[in-house]
Amino acid sequence: MSELSQWGLFLLIGAGTFAIRLSFIEFYGSLRIPPLLRRALLYVPASVLAALVVPAVVLPDRHAAFDWSNPQIPAALLAALVAWRTKSTLLTLAVGMGALWALKYWGV
């Protein structure tokens, strides 16, 4: 495949991806979405965030190890507790990162 063909393919795939995403944004108001699906869609951001964060916390160095010597696990649990109790994103980030830095500093 020539370099020009590759660039054309990249642009075509990018335009297709953009069109798919734009269609959901553009047509969301005009489509009739059942109430059950509408409620389910409210949980998509939280589930995507969990899918991104949990492997980074539980799989340090790409090895599955749920070990308390991994400072990311207690820091993540503390951040989850703060998020649950306060519902404050900024406070959750501050407490989680502060706990992680403190645990790494103390060598836990």
pLDDT along the chain (108 residues), means of 10: 92 95 80 87 90 84 72 92 94 95 87
**Would you list the domain boundaries of the chain?**
1-31, 43-106
Q: How far apart are CA 78 and CA 46, in angstroms?
A: 18
Measure Cα distances from 10 to 4, 6, 7, 19, 24 in Å. 10, 6, 5, 14, 22
**Quick check: pTM over 0.95?**
no
Question: How does DSSP classify residue 60?
Answer: G
